[in-house]
Structures are given as structure tokens and as C-alpha cells.
Amino acid sequence: MKNIAVIGAGTMGNGIAHTFAQSGYKVQLIDISQASLDRGVATITKNLDRQLAKERITEAQKQATLDNITTFTNLEEGVEYAGLVVEAATENVDLKLKIFKDLDAATGEDTILATNTSSISITQIAAVTKRPELVIGMHFMNPVPIMKLVEIIRGYNTSDEVTATIMEMSKNLGKVPVEVNDYPGFVANRILMPMINEAIETLYNGVAGVYEIDTVMKLGMAHPMGPLQLADFIGLDVCLSILEVMHDGFKNPKYAPCPLLVNMVRAGKLGVKSGEGFYDYSESRKAENVAKMFA
């Protein structure tokens, strides 16, 4: 299984493509927009240059990684020879269901279909295909080339053989795979998102300010970054989507998104990607805020 198709060239998709390509796999990176593909490859190149500058890879390894990646705007062409497809599109259930219906029709009957979803049911996604036993979750962490963890999520019908294959493949990528079962939020986000939501509630209730909340968690709990800063890096819209999935799945009010989070997303303040979230990432304020975040 040396041909891997990756759907989506955004932050997660290009990171997944980078990781597979650097591990010697041939990667078909697929997106509906050539501009998105160009940005994705540019990001991969930039990250490889960073590894090169730190002497973690050689120039030959950088070039070999880039040579292993081919881009496509046509899904059918991109997945034609894939033994594994990893979907890394936006965290939207309707979009993912459509993609998996299309993948089921476009790929060989033995092709494993994986999703990088961070919260949506693998069983629900698998149900729109004719091969639910071959559908599995591969939840990579961001930034993918650096973070070791991969949550391997079994759907209700995912076979033991497919699970073992993906666990072993993840190890071949230099990752540490952890098998979990299919419940909203899985493990990582079921624990992380309520913490982030509670930090937002703490701000919303006026208990403390942004810097103060993050400083308490960094210095008091030894977190590498505060929960509000982390939410900005994840994307506030992504945090909201995950909380909504868990709230809907468990029907438990403890997962209800904080009104402040809802309003910020409505206002387009999504974090790093929009230039403003709990912190200001605009050029005029970047140096000041970065200094505070990492103080």
C-alpha cells in the first residue's frame, strides 16, 4: 500500500501529505482548487526548509519528499491507484458524507477509506458507503509532521484487519497510534474541548482576562500553551463545530458551546486564520501579542 490519496490541501491535509511523502509513500494530494493545492505544496516546502535548516533532513530528502507528491483537482483521477484514501476536508458532516459517497464509487473495492475527522461519527460516515468494514478514523494532531499521536477510531463495522493495517502504517510514519472507539469527540477532543469551553466561560463570566487565564494554565498546569491560545490555533469555528457534535451526540448540557464562542465565530473572529480571535494576529499587533503569549 504505497499509493496514498489525501483529500484536502489545508492545514491538516498538507501536513498529512507531507508526513506520508517523507516516509516514502507516493501521495496524490487532491483539492477542488489549484490555488489551494499550490498553497499546500508551498507550506510543505516551507516546513521542509525548516527541517533542513535544523539539520533534521538533507537536501536530497527534502527533494525526494516533494517528488513523492502529485496534485490533482479531479477526485477520480487522484484516487485511481490509491490503496488508502485519507480525507482531511472541512469538519462538516454533510461535506464528509458526500466525499465518502464519491470515494466509494471512485475507488477500488479493496481501498481503505480513512477520515481525519476530529469528532464526527466514523459509523455514520461508513454507512454511506458499501464497504463500512474498510472505513476508519485517522485523527492526526496539528502540526502533523511534528505531533506523534494518531487516534485510530474504529467504526461499528470496521474490521480487525483494517484496524491492524492502519495501526501498523501509523507506526511506519513514526507516529504513536492509539485505538479508540467511536463516540463523539473520541478521546482527545472529548477531554480537550470542554476544557477550552470552560476557559471561554471563565473569560465570559469575567473571572479573569485572556492572558491571565492562559498564564494560569501554562504555569500552574504545565500546559505548553494556554487554552485560549490553543483555541485560536485550532480555529474557533472548528472548536464550535466539535462542541456542537458532542452536544448533539450526548444530549448533555456540559458540552453546550459558550455564548461568547458562538458570537465570536458569527463575527468572523476565528483565531490565527482570520487574524483575530482571543489574540490579535494582525501585523501591527503581532510582535506584542506573541511576546505576551510566550512570556
| Catalytic annotation, pick one of 36, 121, 151, 241 | 151
274 a known binding residue?
no
Bridge partners of residue 181, in order along the sequence: 154
**Is 39:13 a contact under the CB 8 Å cutoff?**
no
- Give the integer Cα–Cα distance in Å for 266 and 260: 10
138 a known binding residue?
no
142 a known binding residue?
yes
To the query of whether residue 189 is one of the catalytic residues in this protein, the response is yes
To the query of whether residue 18 is one of the catalytic residues in this protein, the response is no
To the query of whether residue 109 is one of the catalytic residues in this protein, the response is no
Count CB atoms within 10 A of the CB of residue 15.
Answer: 25
215 a known binding residue?
no
| Catalytic annotation, pick one of 3, 68, 121, 139 | 139
State the sign of the Cα–Cα–Cα–Cα dihedral 100, 232, 223, 288.
Answer: positive
12 a known binding residue?
yes
| Catalytic annotation, pick one of 189, 197, 241, 289 | 189
To the query of whether residue 151 is one of the catalytic residues in this protein, the response is yes
> Interior CA angle at 158 toward 156 and 159, to 5°?
130
Spell out the residues 6+ positions from residue 204 whose beta carbon is closer than 8 angstroms to its own. 258, 259, 260
40 a known binding residue?
no
| Catalytic annotation, pick one of 116, 118, 170, 241 | 118
91 a known binding residue?
yes
209 a known binding residue?
no
- Residues marked active site are found at 118, 139, 151, 189
**Residue list, annotated binding site for NAD(+):** 8-13, 31, 91, 96, 118, 142, 273
**Residue list, annotated binding site:** 8-13, 31, 91, 96, 118, 142, 273
